């Protein structure tokens, strides 16, 4: 079964093979949703589990995530017809003053691979941009990332801005980044904290009841 071959290619971070197999399945009129759910999602589930258990580390996860992203590039136009089947909509961004994005990017790719619609606002994102995104995109979750202790307080600033704009109750706020802890997430009023991409994806599914 080529789904198993595709999953293995993604797990191994073999983007050329993964892309070739994905395109081959598409050319053979295999349903795009079946390719996603049969080949890509299981691969990222395995990667997430292996990462959580300490079998692989960030470099291996990043390589696998890039392979997944390449395959999604082929499938996304075809998946548009299945909009109603998506698990939820997520807006991600690294907060104001911080330009680190590798962890955030991996989170986005893993969430896309798990069936979420992801909108990445990039880095150095202030409260106004998050507010605009919430108003325009109506996400279920916003994910705030910070890698610097000096930019962590901007997460609280964004959450406070959501309260002032009467948007706080409309979204789940997830936070993550190397210096963060569950205690800090609780102290700023976030709904959830995730230490890595695998747990962020699982937490998102759990929060929305789509696990």
Which one is the CATH code of 86-211: 3.40.50.12160, 3.40.50.300, 3.40.50.280, 3.30.1660.40? 3.40.50.280
Q: Write down the pTM of the prediction.
A: 0.75
Taking phi over 0 as left and psi of -120 to 50 as alpha, with beta for the rest, 8 belongs to alpha
At residue 85 the predicted structure's pLDDT band, cuts being 50, 70 and 90, is low
Structural element, H or E, at residue 193 = strand 192-193
pLDDT of residue 82: 62
pLDDT of residue 28: 94
pLDDT of residue 199: 86
SS (H, E, C) 49-109: HHHHCCCCCHHHHHHHHHHHHHHHHHHHHHHHHHHHHCCEEEEEEEECCCCCCHHHHHHHH
Residues 114-172: tens digit of each pLDDT = 789 999 999 999 999 999 999 999 999 999 999 999 999 999 999 999 999 999 999 99
Q: Return the number of other C-beta atoms located less than 10 Å from residue 125's C-beta.
A: 23
Residues 68-77: tens digit of each pLDDT = 889 988 988 8
At residue 180 the predicted structure's pLDDT band, cuts being 50, 70 and 90, is very high
pLDDT of residue 1: 64
- Average pLDDT over the chain, rounded to an integer: 91
Among 34-38, 60-64, 107-111, 164-168, name the most confident range.
Answer: 164-168
Backbone angles phi, psi at 173, to 5 degrees: -105, 115
Going from N- to C-terminal start, the domains of the chain cover 1-84, 86-211
- 39 DSSP 8-state letter: I
- The rounded radius of gyration (Å) of the Cα atoms in the chain is 17
* CATH class assigned to 1-84: mainly alpha
């Amino acid at each position: 079964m080529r789904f198993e071959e595709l999953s293995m290619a993604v797990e191994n971070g073999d983007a050329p093979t993964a892309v070739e197999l994905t395109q081959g399945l598409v050319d053979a009129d295999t349903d795009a949703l079946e390719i996603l759910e049969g080949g890509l999602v299981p691969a990222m589930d395995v990667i997430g589990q292996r990462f959580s258990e300490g079998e692989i580390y960030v470099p291996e996860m990043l390589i696998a995530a890039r392979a997944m992203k390449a395959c999604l590039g082929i499938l996304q136009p075809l998946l548009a017809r299945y909009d109603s089947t998506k698990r939820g909509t997520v807006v991600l961004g690294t907060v104001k003053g911080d330009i680190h994005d590798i962890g955030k990017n991996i989170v986005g790719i893993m969430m896309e691979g798990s069936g979420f619609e992801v909108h990445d606002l990039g880095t150095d994102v202030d409260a106004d941009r998050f507010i605009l995104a919430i108003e325009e995109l109506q996400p279920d979750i916003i994910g705030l990332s910070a890698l610097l202790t000096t930019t962590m307080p901007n997460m609280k600033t964004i959450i406070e801005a959501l309260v002032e704009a009467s948007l706080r109750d409309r979204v789940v706020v997830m936070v993550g980044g190397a210096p963060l802890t569950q205690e800090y997430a609780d102290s700023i009023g976030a709904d959830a904290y995730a230490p890595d991409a695998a747990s962020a994806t699982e937490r998102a599914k759990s929060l929305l009841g789509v696990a």
